[in-house]
Amino acid sequence: MDFFKPLNVDDNNTEKKEITGAAEKIECLILGSGPAGYTAAIYAARAGLTPVMYQGMEPGGQLTTTTEVENFPGYPQGVTGPVMMEDLKAQAERFGTDIRWGMATESDLTKRPFRVIIDENIAVEAETLIIATGATAKYLGLESEEKFKGAGVSACATCDGFFYKGKIVAVVGGGDTAAEEAIYLAGLAKKVYLIIRKPFLRASQTMQNRVMNIPNIEVLFEHNTKEITGDSAVTGAILTKRAGEIDEEEVKIEIDGFFVAIGHKPNSDIFAPTLDRDETGYIKTISGSSKTNIKGVFACGDVQDPIYRQAVTAAGSGCMAALDAEKFLKE
């Protein structure tokens, strides 16, 4: 499900709802609760900006669906994603961040204060806005994939892998996420197929080496998924394998679970069209800062980063956003 869904694209909600009552005034509004949002909150709270954070659809962000994080500085023994996010939350609360449940569903950034609607019925007005709404997993777009969501199709191995103990699963994708998911699932499942459309993995060399050395992972290079099959739950998949230059040969595999790990879409739709974004939807920031094309609106973390997308880079950019917001308010 999309973290942010503009009201005007909801099939059942073509009309914008009338919000009555006075909007709450907020000096520094932070949307999103991943490493970027929490770091922005820590800095903004310490600077006395009395930040209010709405956590969004997935409190704690994508890291809450990760197992071991080994590359975040300060945890020499590694840490699990959920524990790390609890640590960040506690630190943001310690300095007085007002952390709330709720998701931004609409925004008007045409003038200051910026108006944001939370959960379709609460209006808030912010002097500065820090967007840290992250990104959401992409799917292949197959009809059968849609049919089996929650019944064998998943985009999160750490959330759903447990159900496939001793079974056979497939993971689609050749990046670090797919490699990580395949490795995680290999520890639970009897067998893991890793389906990659190119003749090589895009994942880092370390992850590639790990994948290739796990005996119950079978890597299927140059394969695409045509259909996921089953009745009430997934029982197989039909793949196409490139044979020679143009011919495609069908390959059937028997599986119980199908995991999609092909990248993410930034959660920025509710800020269009006022906010400048690239063709994928990543918010454009002015190089070396968190500033957007709108004065007083700052973006940090995965919603504006198509390149690095790491917890530590997200945290760093959250710090930048809070410092930029503080400077903006002083000026």
Should residue 309 be labelled a site residue for ligand NDP when binding is judged by CB under 6 A? yes
Q: Residue type at 9?
A: V
CA distance 108 to 80: 37
Identify the residue among 219, 262, 314, 315 touching ligand NDP (CB under 6 A).
262
Closest to 321 measured CA to CA, from 280, 288, 281, 274? 288
Tokens (6 digits) for 323: 């410092």
Give the catalytic positions in this structure. 156, 159-160
Residue 263 near ligand NDP by CB under 6 A: yes
Footprint (CB under 6 A) of ligand NDP, residues 106-165:
140
The distance of closest approach from Cβ of residue 237 to ligand NDP in the complex, given in angstroms and rounded to an integer, is 12
Q: Is 281 in the site for ligand NDP (CB under 6 A)?
A: no
Minimum separation from the CB atom of position 108 to ligand NDP (A): 32
**In terms of CB distance, is 172 or 228 closer to ligand NDP?**
172
Site for ligand NDP, residues 165 to 204, rule: CB under 6 A: 172-178, 180, 197-198, 202
- Residue with smaller CB distance to ligand NDP, 68 or 127: 68
Q: Least CB distance from residue 288 to ligand NDP, whole Å? A: 20
- Cβ atoms of residues 216 and 191 within 8 Å: yes
**Using the 8-state DSSP alphabet, how is residue 156 labeled?**
-
Are residues 236 and 262 in contact, defined by beta-carbon separation less than 8 angstroms? no
Residue nearest to ligand NDP (CB): 175
Q: Least separation, in Å, of the C-beta of 317 and ligand NDP?
A: 15
Dist. CA 268–CA 280, nearest whole Å: 10
Least CB distance to ligand NDP at residue 16 (A): 33
Q: Does 306 bind ligand NDP (CB under 6 A)?
A: no
Neighbours of 89 (CB within 10 A): 20
DSSP of 4-64: S--GGG-TT--SPPPP-SPPEEEEEEEE--SHHHHHHHHHHHHTT--EEEE--SSTT-GGG
- x-or-dash pattern for ligand NDP, window 214-253, by CB under 6 A? ----------------------------------------
How far apart (Å, rounded) are the C-alpha atoms in residues 42 and 95? 7
Task: Please count the other Cβ atoms lying within 10 Å of the Cβ belonging to residue 222.
Answer: 16
Closer CB to ligand NDP, 190 or 252, in the complex: 252
Contacts with ligand NDP, residue ranges (CB under 6 A) = 71, 140, 172-178, 180, 197-198, 202, 262-263, 309
